[in-house]
């Protein structure tokens, strides 16, 4: 039942009547509706009438090809992405709640995306985006990223036998720099302002396929968010229903939009009757989607302050996040580093060690203080190993330890 | 069909006629057959006649409770362990082989255990061992470990609401020290020779449940290897058959033995007709199982030289590894750090970044140069983030990058 891709065309988010062929992927946004101030992204349309509903009788598992009819053609091999667990989170205490307590209250769940091949959600996007590079016959892949996205693109390119160039910054934690370099890509640490002109030159002169944004407001890769739809499919099967709300760590909002689109498709296919409210959880140091929603703009660029949540802290927003929040009746939340640290600590105290950015979903849920008529999902995107400061702190050695050293106040 | 545990008793590996009740778990080896020189571990027996074979019509997934009839009682909650992908490895080139080539040769597969909740295989063991602590009514869990095992035990204890004490060493990489501390356990860095007396004191005076070895040759937790059996169950379903050989990174050989026992059970249940050959892949700096097998001893302790594969480098072996290699017609292989680095690099060039120890399975397979009549599985146990040296190296920033900086010889 998971046969070939039923993808049809690229469609502009600036005007749904504006469509383009599926290839080549329009990696600089919609050429018709974009302006000098706002670039509009594209999404992919499918021949939904031909989708076999038995697709959703499958169990989730580690290869998003099980959803191939609802994805662009997967020409790049899998590294076993997807099939991540949904872990119940107790919002109050350290231990899971009792069964009796659970029946009384709706549950909070954590979707642990640190369980992907390069230990972040980005692998779902890169399976699809690197597939576009392969399908386009590109001689290589180029990405500008200081962390998860660069490493994931490098891993999928390596798997597909394509050379990769990663333009990174010197700001990312040393362990993450080793991570990005591990997969054999050409990695250049360059000043932030030099990344985008160099990326463009590599695309134009070497013909490399870009899996990073190249526009004034974010558009990114037109196929990328399609990979994130698989999170919605998995949640639907894992919960046996559509959640009431989804809280997502949000930088460019590709994740938020992709998950939203997945649920929209489930309703369109007649499999689900409801839609979740989508909450964009951005760092208070920036928050371009919160700004756009507050001002009624289709997208926004903001000043960026200091934050350790480097995985989601960026000045540039896009139209996708605005669509997901607006159409779902959700909200854009701005979480401080302090709120992120609190959420990160409490996730770890229940056995889930997340990167600071990865805890933004839970931090947003806690800040919102809303009641929902159904289960709530907080997306947790990445492993704690990738955080700023990991590996920096040194700990003392007790040369002559005794039981007294274990006293709570020792 | 995955009902309650069918576990019956603890049985000595020193003498299969020597049995004990299932509780309390005998965490100091078999009290009847052990001597001053050799401690014998225990295994768990089950009421196999009552196992519903439909258990193996399930798909693998992220909670080993799906195999609960064939595990000790799982009293500790899941963090979503297991259900890891099986990724094909091309032993020659960077890219996956063609379908035609695949038909001609047996495939090499990598079972990527870095996809567990704390990004190593240890989570399968700790779900089971921490469950034993909960079932025993212990007030806490104590573990001596400088890495994956300590962090995993801390995560599962946190999830179960049990306090944990981790006795670690100052030698482990700084990022791993942060990892072990992330889950809220009491962590003490103590000199290596002080760890075992302090562990014993914590067990005896505080009543904490030990999930580390306490005997002269390795016995460890009697329930622990049962968690690793689930790897065999998953491999059987993922391959649709029993592999011809399994190569496992080996320190204490709990992994090697657990996987072996899982396949023995599949044959006993009439589901499989064959058994794999089991290969213990130990660091050449030590290799207690290779020594025991070469000398005919039931277990051995060796001098330990220098190795960066700290996850598997230890002087103390146990009887489990001897049984798995001997009974399966396998071999114990000694791999150098150089062979490990080569395997690690080639795994990363196919998109899988493993800890040095985690690459020992592939390193062993390459060293053995054996032909097998069927698929070969190399277990890959842990994420590259945990390695010695990760986060230490600094990389230069190119202030004025050009395309020329991307030349292969730049």
What are the pLDDT digits (tens) for A20-51? 999 999 999 999 999 999 999 999 999 999 99
Residues B280 and B321 sit within 8 Å (Cβ to Cβ)? yes
Over chain A, what is the mean pLDDT? 94
Judge whether B85 is closer than 8 Å to chain A, CB to CB. Answer: yes
Shortest CA gap B174–chain A (Å): 4
Judge whether A163 is closer than 8 Å to chain B, CB to CB. Answer: no
- Helical spans, DSSP H, in B87-244: 99-104, 122-135, 148-160, 174-181, 192-206, 224-239
Q: Is A8 helix (H, G, I), strand (E, B) or coil?
A: strand
Q: Is A364 helix (H, G, I), strand (E, B) or coil?
A: helix
- Positions of chain B with pLDDT lower than 50, given as ranges: 92-96, 103-104, 410
Judge whether A161 is closer than 8 Å to chain B, CB to CB. Answer: yes
pLDDT, position A210: 98
E strands present in A276-358: 277-283, 331-335
- Using DSSP bridges, classify how beta strands A19-21 and A7-12 pair: parallel, antiparallel or unpaired: antiparallel
Interface contact flag, B159 A351, Cβ < 8 Å: yes
Residue of higher predicted confidence among A157 and A93: A157
Residues 340-359 (A) with a CB less than 8 A from some CB of B? 345, 348-353
Judge whether A404 is closer than 8 Å to chain B, CB to CB. Answer: no
Interface contact flag, B390 A350, Cβ < 8 Å: no
State how far the alpha carbon of A107 is from the alpha carbons of A102, A281, A376, in Å: 7, 19, 6
CA distance A163 to B406: 11
Interface contact flag, A182 B394, Cβ < 8 Å: no
Residue numbers in A near B208 (CB within 8 A): none
CA distance A70 to A51: 8
Q: Is the pLDDT of residue A97 over 60?
A: no
Identify the burial level of A323 via C-beta atoms within 10 angstroms of its C-beta, where 0-12 means exposed, 13-18 middle and 19 or more buried.
buried
Residues A185 and B403 sit within 8 Å (Cβ to Cβ)? no
E strands present in B22-117: 42-46, 86-89, 108-112
Judge whether A96 is closer than 8 Å to chain B, CB to CB. Answer: yes
Interface contact flag, A80 B84, Cβ < 8 Å: yes
Residue numbers in A near B190 (CB within 8 A): 397-399, 401
> Which class in CATH covers the domain with range B1-131+216-386?
alpha beta
Residues B104 and B54 sit within 8 Å (Cβ to Cβ)? no
pLDDT, position B169: 85
Judge whether B159 is closer than 8 Å to chain A, CB to CB. Answer: yes
Of A168-177, A361-370, B131-140, B259-268, least confident by mean pLDDT is A168-177
CA distance B234 to B375: 14
For the segment A233-260, the average pLDDT, to the nearest whole number, is: 98
CA distance B271 to A400: 54
State how far the alpha carbon of A357 is from the alpha carbons of A79, A341, B72, in Å: 24, 9, 37
Shortest CA gap B57–chain A (Å): 13
The DSSP bridge partners found for residue A376 are: A108, A245
What is the pLDDT confidence band of residue A91, given thresholds at 50, 70 and 90?
A: low
Interface contact flag, A189 B395, Cβ < 8 Å: yes
pLDDT, position B104: 47
pLDDT, position B396: 86
pLDDT tens string A269-327:
999 999 999 999 999 999 999 999 999 999 999 999 999 999 999 999 999 999 999 99
Residues 267-296 (A) with a CB less than 8 A from some CB of B? none
Interface contact flag, A397 B85, Cβ < 8 Å: no
Judge whether A171 is closer than 8 Å to chain B, CB to CB. Answer: no
**Looking at residue A333, what DSSP letter applies?**
E
- Cβ-nearest to A397 among B160, B190, B201: B190
What is the pLDDT confidence band of residue A10, given thresholds at 50, 70 and 90?
A: very high
**Looking at residue A205, what DSSP letter applies?**
I
Q: Which chain B residue has the Cα nearest residue A166? A: B406
Judge whether B100 is closer than 8 Å to chain A, CB to CB. Answer: no
- Cβ-nearest to B405 among A95, A188, A405: A188
For chain B, the domains span: 1-131+216-386
Interface test with B, best of A133, A380, A385 (most B CBs within 10 A): A385
pLDDT tens string B88-123:
998 643 334 555 555 445 699 999 999 999 999 999
State which fold the A86-118+222-386 domain adopts: Rossmann fold (3.40.50)
CA distance A3 to A6: 9
- Cβ-nearest to B62 among A85, A182, A189: A85
Interface contact flag, A395 B84, Cβ < 8 Å: no
C-alpha closest to that of A260 among A34, A11, A220, A250: A250
Judge whether A92 is closer than 8 Å to chain B, CB to CB. Answer: no
Shortest CA gap A395–chain B (Å): 7
The DSSP bridge partners found for residue A209 are: A141
DSSP line for A134-202: HHTT-S-EEEE-SSHHHHHHHHHHHHHT--EEEEE-TTS-HHHHHHHHTT--EEEE--HHHHHHHHHHI
Q: Which chain B residue has the Cα nearest residue A90? A: B159
Judge whether A390 is closer than 8 Å to chain B, CB to CB. Answer: yes
Residue numbers in B near A109 (CB within 8 A): none
| B29 CA to centre of own chain | 19
Q: Is the pLDDT of residue A264 over 80?
A: yes
B27 CB contacts (<8 Å, ≥6 apart)? B203, B209, B210, B214, B219, B221, B222
Judge whether A187 is closer than 8 Å to chain B, CB to CB. Answer: yes
pLDDT, position A172: 84
Interface test with B, best of A177, A183, A351, A382 (most B CBs within 10 A): A351
Judge whether B394 is closer than 8 Å to chain A, CB to CB. Answer: yes
Shortest CA gap A371–chain B (Å): 25
**Burial per residue of B15-50, b for 16 or more beta-carbon CB atoms within 10 angstroms, e otherwise:** eeebbbebeebbbbbbeebbeeebbbbbbbebeeee
Q: Which chain B residue has the Cα nearest residue A63? A: B85
pLDDT tens string A127-163:
999 999 999 999 999 999 989 999 999 999 999 999 9
Residue numbers in B near A61 (CB within 8 A): 59-61, 83
Judge whether A152 is closer than 8 Å to chain B, CB to CB. Answer: no
- Using DSSP bridges, classify how beta strands B7-12 and B42-46 pair: parallel, antiparallel or unpaired: antiparallel
Judge whether A99 is closer than 8 Å to chain B, CB to CB. Answer: no
Residue numbers in A near B174 (CB within 8 A): 390-394
- Using DSSP bridges, classify how beta strands A245-249 and A86-89 pair: parallel, antiparallel or unpaired: unpaired
End-to-end CA distance of chain A: 60
Residues 198-237 (A) with a CB less than 8 A from some CB of B? 198, 201-202, 205-206
Interface test with A, best of B79, B341, B353, B386 (most A CBs within 10 A): B353
The DSSP bridge partners found for residue A43 are: A11
Residue numbers in B near A170 (CB within 8 A): 395, 397
Identify the burial level of A162 via C-beta atoms within 10 angstroms of its C-beta, where 0-12 means exposed, 13-18 middle and 19 or more buried.
buried
Interface contact flag, A353 B182, Cβ < 8 Å: yes
CA distance B238 to B233: 9
Interface contact flag, A62 B85, Cβ < 8 Å: yes
pLDDT, position B409: 53
What is the pLDDT confidence band of residue A99, given thresholds at 50, 70 and 90?
A: low
Interface contact flag, B80 A85, Cβ < 8 Å: yes
Judge whether B380 is closer than 8 Å to chain A, CB to CB. Answer: no
A and B: number of Cβ contacts within 8 A: 242
- Cβ-nearest to A395 among B119, B161, B177: B177
Residues B309 and B250 sit within 8 Å (Cβ to Cβ)? no
Interface contact flag, A80 B62, Cβ < 8 Å: no
């Amino acid at each position: 039942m998971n046969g070939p891709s039923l993808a049809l065309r690229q469609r502009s988010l600036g005007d749904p009547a504006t469509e383009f062929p599926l290839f080549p992927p329009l990696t600089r946004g919609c050429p018709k509706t974009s302006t000098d101030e706002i670039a509009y992204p594209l999404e992919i349309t499918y021949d939904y009438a031909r989708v076999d509903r038995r697709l959703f009788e499958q169990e989730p598992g580690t290869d998003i090809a099980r959803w191939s009819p609802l994805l662009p053609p997967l020409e790049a091999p899998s590294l076993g992405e997807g099939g991540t667990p949904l872990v119940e989170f107790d919002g109050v205490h350290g231990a899971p709640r009792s069964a009796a307590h659970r029946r009384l209250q709706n549950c909070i769940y954590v979707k642990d995306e640190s369980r992907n091949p390069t230990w972040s959600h980005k692998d779902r996007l890169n399976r699809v985006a690197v597939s576009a590079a392969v399908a386009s016959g590109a001689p290589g892949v180029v990405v500008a990223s200081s962390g998860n996205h660069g490493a994931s693109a490098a891993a999928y390119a390596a798997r597909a036998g394509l050379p990769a160039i990663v333009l990174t910054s010197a700001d990312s934690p040393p362990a993450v720099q080793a991570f990005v370099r591990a997969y054999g890509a050409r990695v250049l640490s360059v000043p932030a302002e030099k990344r985008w002109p160099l990326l463009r030159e590599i695309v134009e002169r070497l013909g490399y396929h870009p899996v990073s944004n190249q526009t004034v407001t974010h558009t990114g890769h037109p196929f990328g968010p399609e990979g994130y739809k698989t999170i919605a499919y998995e949640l639907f099967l894992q919960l046996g229903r559509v959640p009431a709300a989804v809280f997502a760590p949000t930088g460019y909002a590709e994740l938020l939009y992709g998950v939203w689109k997945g649920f929209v498709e489930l309703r369109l296919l007649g499999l689900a009757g409801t839609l979740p409210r989508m909450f964009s959880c951005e760092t208070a140091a920036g928050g371009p989607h919160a700004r756009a929603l507050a001002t009624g703009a289709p997208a926004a660029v903001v000043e960026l302050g200091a934050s350790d949540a480097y995985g989601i802290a960026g000045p540039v927003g896009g139209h996708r996040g605005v669509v997901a929040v607006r159409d779902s009746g959700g909200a854009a939340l701005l979480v401080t580093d302090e709120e992120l640290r609190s959420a990160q600590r409490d996730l770890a105290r229940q056995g889930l060690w997340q990167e600071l950015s990865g805890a933004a979903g839970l931090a947003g849920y806690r800040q919102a203080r809303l009641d929902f008529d159904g289960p709530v999902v907080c997306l947790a995107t990445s492993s704690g190993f990738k955080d700023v400061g990991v590996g920096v702190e040194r700990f003392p050695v007790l040369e002559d330890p005794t039981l007294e050293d274990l006293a709570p106040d020792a």
